[in-house]
Amino acid sequence: MASLPKPELGVGVFLLKGNKVLLGRRRTAVGRNTFALPGGHLEFGESFEQCAAREIKEETGLDITDIEFLTVTNNVLSEPKPIQLIAILMRAVVADPEQTPVNLEPEKCDGWDWYDWDNLPKPLFAPLETVVLRGFNPFLSH
């Protein structure tokens, strides 16, 4: 029997501004063309907060503050390859309100934009879709 890959641990960040969240459409194979929070793999030894700050900096150039854990998701995807994704979802705000997001990894993302929480684009990346379907609200959780 072919062996299946070990689950992957990702960290996604709800970057909040007013009633908006920062999303980008993925260009990578997993979740291609879906709108996702900025985020990526946890690296060895990192805390969730460190991973959140590093991934946001690498992907958008933004510095974040008030980083908090919100919730966790568990998604099994079959396309384009079998993958199980555990996502630690955090929230944060931009440290300097004058700073704007830059698409620093254009091979991985179409570009970053702020979207109204009440009017999210479609389709959403599976972990984000999961929490939206749960009725989860990143602005209300503590």
Cα 34 from chain centre: 11
Per-residue x/- mask for ligand DTP, residues 70 to 109, rule CB under 6 A? Answer: ---------------x-x--------------------x-
Residue nearest to ligand DTP (CB): 10
Closest CA to 24 of 97, 128, 139, 142: 128
77 with 98: CB under 8 angstroms?
no
* Distances from the Cα of 95 to the Cα of 7, 116, 141, angstroms: 32, 20, 20
The verdict on 40 binding Mg ion (CB under 5 A) reads: yes
Using rule CB under 6 A, residue 24 touches ligand DTP: no
Tell me the closest approach of the beta carbon of residue 100 to ligand DTP, in angstroms.
20
| Residues of the shown chain interacting with Mg ion in the complex, contacts defined by CB under 5 A | 40
